[in-house]
Structure 1
Amino acid sequence: MNLVKRIDTVFVPVTDLKKSEAWYMEVFSFEEAVFRSSDGNYVGFRFEGHGEPKTALTLYKADEVPTLKHMAFNFYTEDVDALHTKLKETGVEVTEIHAGDGMRFFEFVDPDGNELGAVTF
């Protein structure tokens, strides 16, 4: 019996919670936050799946955002071209779409410089 079914929540550090909340809501078309901590340091969203497990994304207030040597995670999309176009139209800096090993993917950054990726396969 597998006691762990999936990763539930991904935590992303941000320096300006209100600015980042607005950015993530616009970029990913979240209608509203599903969680707010009582101390005002966390705000959470949930990606709704069609019969699939739902994944949560939580932004948390940090004094500074650590620089990673590699992005922490990818967002999965069924239409990498449409997401790429939407991000560019929203003014998000994106790389070109790359292909390899049966995947198509690109990278982008949030307002704090967190390196993020999008992938389809």
Structure 2
Amino acid sequence: MFSIGSIFIPVTNLESSTEWFERNLDLKKISDWEDGAGFCLPSGSAQLSLVKVASAQATEFEIIRNNRNSYYNFFVNDIEAAHDKLISNGVKTSEIQDYDDMKFFDFFDLDNNPFSVVYEDINSPFHPDNIRKMQEKR
């Protein structure tokens, strides 16, 4: 019944951020409006929207032990290629962290919004194929 429709990202410069997100995440613009623009990602059904704001807004929250966590992440099939692409485009990234069935790294947009990129091994219960199997059982 429910699925993720859109993810909204606050940006201070809509034009520059539009170009940045299109170049770095391979987004395709669906439409724009006075203070925003909507995009589709290369795969999946969720949409991403950039919304112009007057000042930078938090896109993460604090978790235990003073760690930070972004509100959502991007799944990729090849985390090394994604990491290399962002680095070659001059995007600030963290190193790839490896946790058995999952690897991840963070990157930052023009407003210094943090985002996580995740790769799930086929053995991970969070791998998209395993999620799909669970959904089909319902």
- Smaller-chain TM-score range? 0.7 to 0.9
Number of residue pairs aligned between Structure 1 and Structure 2 = 112
Q: Structure 1: which 4+ aligned runs deviate by more than 3 Å?
A: none
| Distance (whole Å) between structure 1 residues aligned to residue 52 and residue 72 of structure 2 | 19
Deviations 1:17-66 (A, max 9, x none): 00100100110123x410112xx2010110133xxx42200000001122
Pairwise CA distance, 1:100: 1.1
State which of 30, 41, 57 in structure 1 corresponds to 2:48: 57
The two structures have a TM-score, normalised by structure 1, of: 0.86
- Tell me which residue corresponds to 1:34: 30
- Tell me which residue corresponds to 1:108: 107
Residue 91 of structure 1 aligns to a residue in which SS? coil
AA partner of residue 86 (structure 1):
K
| Distance (whole Å) between structure 1 residues aligned to residue 72 and residue 102 of structure 2 | 15
Instruction: Report the RMSD for the aligned CA atoms in angstroms.
Output: 1.3
Q: Which has the bigger relative contact order, CA under 8 A and spacing at least 6?
A: 1
- Tell me which residue corresponds to 1:17: 14
Question: Sequence identity, in percent?
Answer: 29
Question: Any gaps of 5 or more consecutive residues in structure 1?
Answer: none
Deviations 1:61-98 (A, max 9, x none): 00112233331211100010000000000000110000
AA partner of residue 34 (structure 1):
I
User: Which structure has more helix as a fraction of its residues?
Assistant: 2
- Tell me which residue corresponds to 2:57: 66
The two structures have a TM-score, normalised by structure 2, of: 0.76
| Distance (whole Å) between structure 2 residues aligned to residue 101 and residue 41 of structure 1 | 42
Instruction: Select the structure of larger CA radius of gyration.
Output: 2
- Tell me which residue corresponds to 1:80: 79
